[in-house]
Structure 1
Amino acid sequence: MSEPWGLPLLELARQWLQDTLPAAVIYPSYTPLFLLVLGLVALQYARIARMEAGLYGQPLVPTWHRVLTALAAGLVGGFVGAMVMMATGVVLEPRDALPLWPVALALAFIRPRFMCFAYATGVIGVSALLVGWPDVHVPGLVALVGALHLAEAILVYIDGAEGATPVLARNGRGEVVGGYLMQRFWPVPAAILVLLHMPAPGQGIAMPDWWPLVRPAPLQAADPAAVAVAALPLLAALGYTDVALTAPPGVRSRRMALGLVGYGAALMAMAVLAERHALWAWPAVLASPLLHEAMIFAGLARERWGRPAFGPAADGLRVLWVGPRSQAARLGLEPGDVILTVNGQPVRRPADLRDASGPYAHYLRLEVRRGSRSLTLETNRFDPAAPLGLLLVPPPDEPAQPVIDLGGKRLFGT
């Protein structure tokens, strides 16, 4: 079977699985760093659990479940990031990546979301182009940011909506609506590629003639037969914070994933152009933070001003969240449903729901609107002493304390 574009993808995948991943996770020199990153991710999920406990009396999803699913998704993201770097031929020298973490951590003191490498690359690249310090390969850094965001697009697509927290939020028009706060953090064992000079030609993985697309200047004139590809572990903690007001969390995260694909692909293309034409270096460096900001603000503006998916219903009670294995879940209620009547009694506010269901020992009958359909849900096993297990969007005239205000843009971003 012919390999696409002459790339030995199976051999590259084998190298990541057999060499790079074990080095990032279980080798003595990297294990403490991996455990540190995993610990930081666990602390973030513990913070979310405390927030949910303060709002609803208990965490909606166990912390251990969030950590394990994030670890599994992070391994997928690390594989995707490594394969993108290897397949496109983004080669760095180890010194190129050294300034990233210090600058990213310094920027985090300004705003937490500025810890993203997109902003650190912008600062480092501008300094390198203006004054020649630090001595880094600018196109390679831009390409690294693009590759990591392509990997993050996969993570956001498959895992961005996992464990989303239902909240009340105030949108751009001042309305209190239901929505979901999505906060996911992943430990990602990715890789950076380096080229090593070989004492004997012909060793290492054979790559096509066009490869690599981006590599440091000292290696550009090197004989391809005299160098070998080495993948060095790059441990990263990727994070995604967003809000879903105009669509369910899964739809919102998929939209964001598409934006990340476009952003990552644009940076990769600009890095290749900057490698070949110096005039593209400035556009590539500036695009790293500015396009990132534009992507975030465009998505947030859509959520602030778009039509809410979980706004108050004029003729009933809109369901925002249904607890797993709850009475509401067994009854068949879903987020977005509008409860019209309970045991024949119209309901307009949460107190009506409690009053209408209270006199009946075990029977509960709901008339529900789901989209354009009308449904009847009923059960003979209702326990009025136990929680129904759902969250409702209050009517406009009922006092409610919004959990988040979309004017606070500090929260959001990748």
Structure 2
Amino acid sequence: MNRVRLFLTLLGPITWVGFLVAVFWHWLRLRHERKVFLTAIDRHATGLWAGIIGGVSVAVIISGLSVLGGVLLPPAVLLMLSGLTVVMLLLSGIGFGPWWLPIAGLLAIYVPQTQFAQGTASVWTWRLLLLVGLLWLAEAGLLKVFDPPIDVPTLIQGPRGAKIAVYAHRQFYWLPLILPISGNTFAQLPWWSALTIGNTHFALIGLPLILGVALRTKKQLPKYAIKLWIWQYLIAGVIALALAAGAWALPTYTTIWLIVAVIVGIVVGLANHQANKRGINYVSQTITGVRLVAIQPETPAAKMGLEAGDVVLLCNQLPVHNDAELYAAIQAHPTYCRLKVMRLDGAIKLCETAIYEGAPHELGMITFAEEQA
């Protein structure tokens, strides 16, 4: 019965809100792409599966470390982490990143509590900072290993009159954490069992958290911003672990440690925003070739290593300046495709692959010309 109760806590409001938010953005992406480009760039639920597999893998590691290390947290911290997660998920339309995690500690201290106000902050602050550090490091690892390149292009009018592609990237990870929560709050519930080791009373609680990224770029592809995010959360995670060590060694300065951690989180959030704004090259229409707006996965174009922003200059030795010329060049040799491509940074690449007869989008190349009139 206790296993059932623990499992049910992992399917709480955060899980359902996170699931609904992820499904909503997946549905909206498919709807947008079919409307603008007449085809879905990625029809599969790759992001949803990556979010579950990556998140659960990380949750097992962090939960094991927390339980074995006795990282006991009061219910008030759990409550604040849950509430902040839901709020940030609902605001994911303007951006998402776990920079806000340390704020839960300050809220747990200063927001009026009732039966959830158990344990002094000097006792649990280092534990919260340890958890925050692990979660920030997990964010960096997940973005490095489990972040599928599913970018959503939107066509807008550029500063020089030509249309440009603006990219949105959203990926969420579900972490069904199991944490030891200190105090007797759950022992008072007739349907929940508390554990006792020595004079310490605690219960194992399922705390599902959501990590991930939601960003928008204009002068670069999202993958370049995400590379900076990885370093930012890696550095922040190390700093949070150092703050946890300080809070453990000097617990009398609890508020100072938490404030420093919150400042670090805010700096990371601002750094995330600046990373999204970096870049010098728009993905814009051009008359020197055919600009690729997106590449469909598992297609001949993907196998050739093409990516959004590339400009096809030659196709089967024929110069191409528009979608019609690209289609004609492909049809001239329908069994193979040889391309001369200019990257977004100006580098030239030669690539080829065996293909089947079809239009450019059937090769996996999405161009500006795919847009509906």
Partners of 2:102 and 2:311 lie apart in 1 by 47
Show the counterpart of 2:259. Answer: 286
Match for residue 36 of structure 1 among 1, 13, 16: 16
Q: Within 5 A, what are the aligned runs for 1:222-301?
A: 231-243=204-216, 249-250=222-223, 252-277=225-250, 280-301=253-274
Deviation at 1:160, TM superposition (A): 2.2
Provide Cα deviations, 1:317-357, integer angstroms capped at 9, x if missing partner: 34343223445446x36115432123544333445434655
Show the counterpart of 1:382. Answer: 357
Deviation at 1:279, TM superposition (A): 6.6
Show the counterpart of 2:175. Answer: 188
- The code of the aligned residue for 1:369 comes to V
Classify the secondary structure of the residue corresponding to 1:264: helix
Deviation at 1:230, TM superposition (A): 6.1
TM-score normalised to structure 2 length? 0.70
Deviation at 1:37, TM superposition (A): 5.2
Partners of 2:244 and 2:161 lie apart in 1 by 42
Deviation at 1:35, TM superposition (A): 6.3
Identity %: 16
Show the counterpart of 1:156. Answer: 143
When residues 130 and 49 of structure 1 are mapped into structure 2, their CA distance, relative to the original with a 3 A threshold, is closer
Deviation at 1:163, TM superposition (A): 2.7
Show the counterpart of 2:334. Answer: 362
Match for residue 55 of structure 2 among 65, 74, 82: 74
When residues 187 and 297 of structure 1 are mapped into structure 2, their CA distance, relative to the original with a 3 A threshold, is same
Q: Is the 8 A contact 1:118 1:288 kept in 2?
A: no
Deviation at 1:150, TM superposition (A): 2.3
Q: Within 5 A, what are the aligned runs for 1:210-229?
A: none
Single out whichever of 272-281 and 185-194 deviates more from structure 2: 272-281
Alignment pair present for 1:48 and 2:29:
yes
Q: Structure 2: any 5+ residue segments left out of the alignment?
A: 185-195
Single out whichever of 130-139 and 44-53 deviates more from structure 2: 130-139
Partners of 1:400 and 1:271 lie apart in 2 by 55
Q: Is the 8 A contact 1:322 1:328 kept in 2?
A: yes
Partners of 1:130 and 1:232 lie apart in 2 by 22
- The code of the aligned residue for 2:226 comes to S
Deviation at 1:47, TM superposition (A): 3.1
- The code of the aligned residue for 2:131 comes to L
Classify the secondary structure of the residue corresponding to 1:348: coil
When residues 83 and 374 of structure 1 are mapped into structure 2, their CA distance, relative to the original with a 3 A threshold, is same
When residues 374 and 38 of structure 1 are mapped into structure 2, their CA distance, relative to the original with a 3 A threshold, is closer
- The code of the aligned residue for 2:259 comes to L
Partners of 1:343 and 1:63 lie apart in 2 by 31
Single out whichever of 286-295 and 151-160 deviates more from structure 2: 286-295
Q: Is the 8 A contact 2:9 2:206 kept in 1?
A: no
Partners of 2:225 and 2:69 lie apart in 1 by 29
Deviation at 1:183, TM superposition (A): 0.7
Partners of 2:58 and 2:96 lie apart in 1 by 18
Matched pairs, number:
349
Classify the secondary structure of the residue corresponding to 1:75: helix
Classify the secondary structure of the residue corresponding to 2:297: coil
TM-score normalised to structure 1 length? 0.64
Q: Within 5 A, what are the aligned runs for 1:326-341?
A: 326=299, 328-329=301-302, 332=304, 334-335=306-307, 337-341=310-314
Classify the secondary structure of the residue corresponding to 2:306: coil
Show the counterpart of 1:100. Answer: 81
Provide Cα deviations, 1:88-132, integer angstroms capped at 9, x if missing partner: 653212343123333554577777668877547427616836989
Classify the secondary structure of the residue corresponding to 2:228: helix
Classify the secondary structure of the residue corresponding to 1:232: strand
Show the counterpart of 1:391. Answer: 366
Partners of 1:267 and 1:39 lie apart in 2 by 28
- The code of the aligned residue for 1:151 comes to A
Q: Is the 8 A contact 1:271 1:281 kept in 2?
A: no
Partners of 1:95 and 1:66 lie apart in 2 by 32
